[in-house]
Amino acid sequence: MVEEKKANGGDPQDITAEPLGASFKFGAARKVAKEQLSKLIERVPEVEVAEVKDSIVLIKVDSRDIDGVPYLFTLIYLNPDSIEVMYTVTPEISMRKRRLELLRYVANIITLLSDAYTIDMPSFIQLLDIFLEDIKEFATLDYEKLYTKYDALLSRVEEMKRSIERLNESNEKISKDMIELRDERNELKLRVEELEKYSDDALMLKIQDWIREHDNTIDVSEFCRLYKVRESRVEEILNRMVREGFLEMQR
């Protein structure tokens, strides 16, 4: 999703007549908890941080009026499913130049927060194209300089895409490793529970009682189900009992 809004309606001229508020928005899925995101934000320089419901807001004040009230500023809302940028434009600043600078600034922040967000790249590139098409039509900048900036931003986007792909591959490997570790943990937990429940000697007595009650036979699967022990352990105990002469194998 791409969204751009301008306060008070209408299309602003290249130089605004009075301070104006505007915004743009693109899709981005948060991958971490808000608490983890707060730690990652410490990497972003020269910003204040606030929390609004499930969002974190980055506040960057570039200038204030004579009363100390923020005059030229930017608010970046890090939402669970999007990133939204609200900003002001003062009379002496070109609206299109301001938007391009903000898009570059947001791209830098996205890079710093690459561990926390999966960016909807079609949405972001669509927004980039909208801004650059606008500048191409109306701005007085030399086209060669403009396209140089455009190429630089596209290269940055491609770099971010490659970084995201590498992170996704790393996440997949970590997920597989976690599943294997969880299985190993469950196996160890089961073995500990068995050891805490029955010692080898106690288990031998259980097996002897079972064999006497079942005509000198043992159904290992049924025995393990009843006493909640692993088949491999019961088989080890049976082999030990045979070796030590407590049992004889009948053919």
pLDDT at 84: 94
Q: Token digits for 6?
A: 């301008």
Please write the tens of the pLDDT for every residue from 100-127. 888 889 888 888 888 899 988 888 888 8
Is the pLDDT at 9 greater than 50? The verdict is no
Taking only the tens place, the pLDDT of each residue in 74-96 is: 999 999 999 999 999 888 787 87
pLDDT of residue 184: 83
CB 200 within 8 A of CB 207: no
Q: Tell me the pLDDT of the chain averaged across its residues.
A: 81
pLDDT tens figures, 14-54: 443 467 888 989 999 999 988 888 888 888 888 899 998 88
What is the value of pTM for the model shown?
0.49
- Which whole-number Å values give the CA distances from 108 to 40, 134, 235, 246, in the listed order? 13, 22, 62, 74
Higher pLDDT, 11 or 240: 240
User: pLDDT category, 136, cuts 50, 70, 90?
Assistant: low
94 DSSP assignment: B
| Contact (CB, 8 A) for 107 and 131 | no
**Cα angle for residues 149, 154, 156 (degrees, 5° grid):** 95
Residue tagged 């983890």 (tokens): 36
Estimate to the nearest angstrom the gap between the alpha carbon of 140 and the chain centroid. Answer: 41
Considering just the CA atoms, what is the radius of gyration of the chain in Å?
33
Give pLDDT, residue 14. 45
Task: Report pLDDT digits (tens) over 189-205.
Answer: 777 766 657 778 888 88
- Indicate if the alpha-carbon torsion angle 47, 50, 52, 56 is positive or negative: positive
